Amino acid sequence: MEKNQYYLEAAPVRKAITHLSIPMMIGMSVGTIYNVINAYFIGLLHNTSMLSAITLGLPIFTVLMAIGNVFGVGGGTFVTRLAGERETEKGKRIAGYTFYSSIIAGLLIALLAFLLVNPIVQLLGADAATLAYTKTYVLTLFAGGFVVVLNFALEQLVRSEGASKESMYGIFISSALSLIFDPLFILVLKWHVAGAALAMVLANAGSVIYYIYYLEKKSEYLRGFLKSFKISIKDQLEIYKIGVSELLQAGFLIVSTLLLNNYSILYGDSVVAGFGLALRIAQVPEFLAMGLFLGLIPFFAYNYSSKNISRFKAGFNYAALYIGGIAILFVGLVYMFREPVIQFFSNDPEVLKIGTYIVVAMLISALFNGFTGLFTSVFQATGQGLPTMIMSITQGVLYIPVIVLLHSMFGLHGVIWSMTVTEVITCVMGLLLFIPFNKKIKKSLHSI
């Protein structure tokens, strides 16, 4: 039995969780640092408009990540289920299709973005002070966007066979490259926001090269995947029924971010910058929980497809326990040190004041975010297209009336707490969807 297969199929559950999730938790934590690196170096320029521009441009990265995850999550979970059914040759074809489709999709979205850049920048909420900086950042990021798309797709394929350490190494590579490229492009070459976007693209390119090497040379299931890419329409639909939820979620997230940007800009650049910093800081506990449940997606997919329901349920129970512990511990720590952390990124008194307040709302949201992600991951891993889509739609659509209503009632305070209210309701929705699914797998357990 291969090493990764052992952890998916036979290792003690807690040992399997340690192997699959700890590297992902480390990787996601490093990824959080990676996300704030360019904000830190842009902050050194003491230009609030530039800091606001890269915050306004965050939805673009979300779009590229989502397109990558359409193929990566849809294809990756399919590959794992096929491995559980011992259909590895078919898994290679799915992986090949994922690779080439990601490149094509990334190039098409870049072409579309270049044609529509002016309305895109306006939709992002840029004002006169941030318009030029935001346009430069967006154009640069889209130009190399296919690399970002491919990076997220390949990362999911690497994790599809339980290779969490290798997935983590790819994140390390991109983070290390970002630490090199960000100061070089932003401060030394003085490319400012264009340098921040270019550094992000090249850092992702480093990960892509590593992931291709691993999958072609080291993978247990997918070696030779670049030569196999023709799949049936039925198999394509199997990918998209799960993957499209990622695009829907990103689409709704972009609408939510646009609403947040446009409402917050009413209160000045300091509020926009404060939101950007608070969101990044709150990602620390969120990304730790994310690393845990993302690492377990192949575990859930493999054991569900191979009918090992008791092992599947044990993994879920441990995951829920650990996510609760992480949320309470790390949210508490970040809350205690929120003021000095905010000061690390900005010395603007207004940004410090509003950012410290916003981060409290973001941390409360993080208490529920991990459980929402766990429910969604289980639905994705087991090929439950409808519950996956409902979760994505709920998280996105619900935010729109919530922020509109709370803003009309409470002004800026309503804008700040709207995300927290939405996250709590979405978590409850995940629980309501999980209850019938849990009954279904209990029947499967008794019928074995």
3-state secondary structure of 185: helix
Residue range 257-280: mean pLDDT, rounded? 80
Question: Tokens for 86?
Answer: 């011992």
- 297-301, 347-351, 444-448 — most confident range: 297-301
Residue range 403-412: mean pLDDT, rounded? 92
For residue 134, is pLDDT > 90? no
Residue range 213-217: mean pLDDT, rounded? 91
Cα–Cα distance, 422 to 398 (Å, whole number): 6
Torsion of CA 394, 396, 400, 401, to 10 degrees: 10
Cα–Cα distance, 382 to 444 (Å, whole number): 14
pLDDT of residue 99: 94
Contact 13, 315 (CB under 8 A): yes
pLDDT of residue 111: 92
For residue 257, is pLDDT > 80? no
Euclidean distance between the first and the last CA atom of the chain, given in angstroms as a whole number: 24
Cα–Cα distance, 245 to 385 (Å, whole number): 8
Q: Exposure of 86 by Cβ count < 10 A (0-12 exposed, 13-18 middle, 19+ buried)?
A: exposed
Question: Tokens for 343?
Answer: 């000061």
pLDDT of residue 424: 93
Would you tell me how many other CB atoms lie within 10 Å of the CB of residue 347?
Answer: 10
> What DSSP string describes 50-76?
HHHHHHHTHHHHHHHHHHHHHHHHHHH
Q: Which residue has the higher pLDDT, 352 or 67?
A: 67
Closest CA to 243 of 90, 81, 78: 78
- 40-44, 46-50, 252-256, 436-440 — most confident range: 436-440
| Average pLDDT score, the chain | 85
Instruction: Give how far the C-alpha of residue 192 lies from the chain's centroid of Cα atoms, to the nearest Å.
Output: 25
- 269-278, 361-370, 423-432 — most confident range: 423-432
pLDDT of residue 392: 80
3-state secondary structure of 380: helix
Question: Tokens for 289?
Answer: 């929980």
Residue range 47-67: mean pLDDT, rounded? 80
- 16-30, 163-177, 343-357 — most confident range: 163-177
Would you tell me how many other CB atoms lie within 10 Å of the CB of residue 102?
Answer: 29
In this structure, of 52-66, 198-212, 320-334, the range with the lowest mean pLDDT score is: 52-66
Task: Report pTM.
Answer: 0.76
Residue range 364-385: mean pLDDT, rounded? 89
Which pLDDT band holds residue 168 (cuts at 50, 70, 90)?
A: confident
For residue 107, is pLDDT > 90? yes
For residue 433, is pLDDT > 90? yes
Q: Which residue has the higher pLDDT, 44 or 212?
A: 212
- 52-66, 90-104, 281-295 — most confident range: 90-104
Which pLDDT band holds residue 33 (cuts at 50, 70, 90)?
A: low
Residue range 161-168: mean pLDDT, rounded? 84
pLDDT of residue 31: 63
pLDDT in tens, 283-318: 777 777 888 888 888 899 889 888 888 899 999 999
Which pLDDT band holds residue 150 (cuts at 50, 70, 90)?
A: very high
SS3 of 96-122? HHHHHHHHHHHHHHHHHHHHCHHHHHH
For residue 329, is pLDDT > 90? no
For residue 167, is pLDDT > 70? yes
Q: Which residue has the higher pLDDT, 156 or 46?
A: 156
For residue 379, is pLDDT > 70? yes
pLDDT of residue 265: 81
For residue 407, is pLDDT > 60? yes
Instruction: Give how far the C-alpha of residue 389 lies from the chain's centroid of Cα atoms, to the nearest Å.
Output: 16
pLDDT of residue 349: 80
284 CB-near residues (< 8 Å, 6+ apart): 29, 32, 330, 334
CA angle centred on 78, ends 394 and 6, rounded to 5°:
115
Cα–Cα distance, 87 to 96 (Å, whole number): 15
Alpha-helical runs (H) found in 183-296? 192-217, 233-264, 269-295
Which pLDDT band holds residue 127 (cuts at 50, 70, 90)?
A: confident
Report the share of the chain in percent with pLDDT over 90: 24
